[in-house]
Amino acid sequence: MDLARFPRRRYSEGPTPIQRMDRFAEAVKRDGPAIFLKRDDQLGLTGGGNKARKLEFLVADALSRGADTLITCGGVQSNHCRLTLAATVKEGLKCRLILAESAPGAYRPDGGGNVLLYHLLGAEKIITVPWGTDLQAALDQASEQAKTEGRRPCVIPLGGSNPVGALGYIDAAQELLIQAKDMGLTFHHIVLPVGSVGTLAGLVLGLRANGSRVPVIGASVLNRREKAEAIAWELVRTTETFLSIEPCVTRDDIFCPDDYLGEGYTIPTEGMIEAVRLLARTEGILLDPTYTGKAMACLMDMVRKGRFMKGENVLFLHTGGAPGLYARPEIFR
Ligand SMILES: Cc1ncc(COP(=O)(O)O)c(C=O)c1O
């Protein structure tokens, strides 16, 4: 699919590598499948991660509409907020963040991880709201406020998950299909974390639109399965409409197991801790505690239960997030 008609900024150099993880695969299960990582943790902007792809289209869209201030939202340790802020720094724009606190006082200005980076990168304003707040309403309100100050604000939704943001992962799907062909590889399964669903929706749409039927497993780390799948399906349909293409994704293509979410978003699980430790100690690669750690726990469990087998190639999309490790070091001690 030709995405050249959409405005785009460039925040990364070339395709991210696809690397084979033999030591890790052997440690997960002897005689299991081959495991590969697509290193989207090595994308551009501050610290990389999946949002760097979405923001190439989202920020270009905002610039084309004359924005001078971007406003977005996330949890207290939001990779999306960090990367949106980094993009505004690069573009010479201002950035305001709305952070939803899981408990009163969860946001501390002297916090580590992404919170440290919000300050280092120079967020213009940080507004905290209680968990469960209608974030779209809070974004709209902050936008109205900015207008009264003479700004030209543009709101970027939670996780950058709208049809414009999804373009980043349609592009990533096309990139990985070309890489697989060049490497002479067939991937039998793809596993990734799912939060606000834009990465999954774009990826599945990009794969199917290019004729690939590879099953995609989106381990949900935010919502229960039913909700995650419903919003992903909705975003796929609105993105197909936005692109004016014939529907190419079926409802069965959207699979978001929530078995690895544990007690809830950001709450650690044993599987996550094992996954983060194992990849660090076998390959020297960092996952994060909120997204990729739980999604890797999903992959490991599926390998051990025989869902992925010897002779198959499993691709894990490493969506970044490592600054989250430094926010809560006690989890890993
Ligand atoms: C590191 C990381 N991985 C995965 C995700 C989930 O991506 P999406 O919100 O597109 O589902 C996020 C979202 O913030 C993230 O920060």
pLDDT of residue 99: 98
Residue 271 near ligand 1, beta carbon < 6 Å: no
At the topology level, CATH places domain 51-160 in: Rossmann fold (3.40.50)
pLDDT of residue 230: 98
Q: Identify the active-site residue in 12, 64, 78, 196.
A: 78
Nearest atom within ligand 1 for CA of residue 54: 10
pLDDT of residue 46: 97
153 burial via Cβ count (<10 Å: 0-12, 13-18, 19+): buried
pLDDT of residue 187: 98
Residue 316 near ligand 1, beta carbon < 6 Å: no
pLDDT of residue 74: 97
Report the C-alpha gap between 321 and 329 in whole angstroms: 14
Report the C-alpha gap between 200 and 232 in whole angstroms: 7
pLDDT of residue 108: 96
Alpha carbons within 13 angstroms on the beta-carbon side of residue 5 total 5
Give the Å distances, CA to CA, from 91 to 29, 53, 86, 94. Answer: 46, 15, 9, 9
pLDDT lower than 70: segments of the chain: none
The string over 280-311, giving b where at least 16 C-beta atoms fall within 10 Å of a residue's C-beta and e elsewhere, is eebbebbbbbbbbbbbbbbbbbbbeeeebeee
User: Which of 55, 85, 231, 319 most suits a substitution to test ligand 1, by most atoms within 8 Å of the C-beta?
Assistant: 319
pLDDT of residue 331: 94
Q: Where in the chain is the domain with CATH 3.40.50.1100?
A: 18-49+162-332, 51-160
Which pair of structure tokens corresponds to residue 288? Answer: 């994060």
Report the C-alpha gap between 296 and 24 in whole angstroms: 11
pLDDT of residue 326: 95
- Determine the distance separating the centroid of ligand 1 and the alpha carbon of 108, expressed in angstroms: 22
pLDDT of residue 249: 98
- Determine the distance separating the centroid of ligand 1 and the alpha carbon of 291, expressed in angstroms: 6
Nearest atom within ligand 1 for CA of residue 159: 9
Residue 291 near ligand 1, beta carbon < 6 Å: yes
- Determine the distance separating the centroid of ligand 1 and the alpha carbon of 31, expressed in angstroms: 31
pTM of the predicted structure, to 2 decimals? 0.98
Residue 50 near ligand 1, beta carbon < 6 Å: yes
102 included as an active-site residue = no
- Determine the distance separating the centroid of ligand 1 and the alpha carbon of 23, expressed in angstroms: 26
pLDDT of residue 149: 98
Nearest atom within ligand 1 for CA of residue 74: 14
Question: What's at 10, amino acid-wise?
Answer: R
Q: Whose CA is nearest to atom 6 of ligand 1?
A: 195
Q: If one looks up domain 18-49+162-332 in CATH, what number appears? A: 3.40.50.1100
- Determine the distance separating the centroid of ligand 1 and the alpha carbon of 148, expressed in angstroms: 32
Residue 268 near ligand 1, beta carbon < 6 Å: no
Give the Å distances, CA to CA, from 312 to 48, 72, 210, 303, 307. Answer: 29, 40, 21, 10, 10
